[in-house]
Amino acid sequence: MPVSVKFIIISIFALLLTACSKKATDAVEELPKINIPRFGEENTLEIASWNIRTFPNPNPNISNPGQTVTSVKEIILDLDVDLYAVQEINSAYEFGNLLDSLNAAAGANMYDGRLNEQSSSFKTGIIFKKSVIEVLDSTYLFVNDLYDFASRPPFQLYLRASKNGRTFDFNLIVVHLKAEDGNPQSQVRRRNSIQKLENYIDAQLQQPGSDPDFVIAGDWNDELEDPTSSNVFLPFLEDTLRYKFLTLPFAGSSSEYSYLLGGFNSLIDHILITTSIDTTYLPLTTQVLKLDQYYSLYVSEVSDHRPVAARFGTF
């Protein structure tokens, strides 16, 4: 075969291969992708509270809960947050699958988690980076007082965060309080549970040698800006010497809300800290993470709650 003809045949074949590869690449690029801006930073500790609605089945029309696991995994990897306080974990098995998929995607054994075994089917828990967070101790609060806490006793963990050669020990309490905003009895139960939490933390702060650093994060199922007559948060809001809601600046905002469904857009997910943290480890940023604005299938595949997150200038 003449060299010129052979060259032409080879060139045509190469063009065909390139075209096929281009089509295959284009097909992959056209698939929906989650691309969430990173919240984590190298010199801060990041803590987020996230109600992952009835994980892994946020929508009864979803027949494949594995898609929710995949979506949550991608969001966690994109956000790059050190520690999540999570609520509404309905399957311990799928929670384990989530941790496995995170570690497989990260290429290392980076993530771990704990679940509140005293909770009802709506379990609370944590997901954390093992290189940053160490669990020193854990306990369950008010396990004999489940009515006010809706069968979800607060999950307290004593944690050590380490970065850049520095450490920060603190108490984390994960909460998921009684729902139903329009039910007066539910409001009474939330008020009672918050008063009990405040009494408990006050008692801990008075213990000689106790660690004064507390972070209380979760789905509180109520708004901070309610009038005094109906505001369930008064025990914490009125004690400004010891407590600070990092989400308070967003109270009443028409755009900074965490609950997304039913026309009742509201900020009901909160992070509360003791002021010892505020004065020593200044929170640099608190945000409502509007994941639904970056991923159109967020509500149907992931949750009806946006996470709220804070960075602490610990490191």
Q: CA-CA distance, 249 to 247, in Å (whole number)?
A: 6
Q: Which residues of the chain have pLDDT under 70?
A: 1-32, 61-63
Task: Share the mean pLDDT of the chain.
Answer: 89
pLDDT the model gives residue 10: 40
Question: What is the SS3 assignment for 263?
Answer: coil
> For the segment 270-303, what is each residue's pLDDT rounded down to a tens digit?
999 999 999 889 888 999 999 999 999 999 999 9
How far from 161 is each of 35, 76, 122, 152, CA to CA, in Å? 27, 18, 27, 26
Residue found under tokens 């108490």 = 171
With contact defined as beta carbons under 8 Å apart, do 145 and 196 qualify?
yes
- Domain coordinates of the chain in residue numbers? 1-31, 36-312
pTM of the model: 0.89
pLDDT digits (tens, 9 = 90+) for 246-265: 999 999 999 999 999 877 89
Please state which architecture CATH assigns to domain 36-312. Answer: 4-Layer Sandwich (3.60)
Please report the pLDDT score of residue 64 as a whole number: 72
Per-residue model confidence (pLDDT) at position 11: 45
Give the pLDDT confidence score for residue 142 in this predicted structure: 97
CB 190 within 8 A of CB 177: yes
Question: Of 114, 178, 122, 118, which is closest to residue 142 (Cα–Cα)?
Answer: 118
Sign of the C-alpha dihedral, residues 184, 52, 87, 118? Answer: positive
SS (H, E, C) 39-74: CCCCCCEEEEEEEEEEECCCCCCCCCHHHHHHHHHH
The C-alpha atoms of residue 302 and residue 260 are separated, in whole angstroms, by 12
Residue-level pLDDT at 22: 37
pLDDT of residue 66: 83
Q: Residue 63 corresponds to which tokens in the numbers above? A: 């027949």
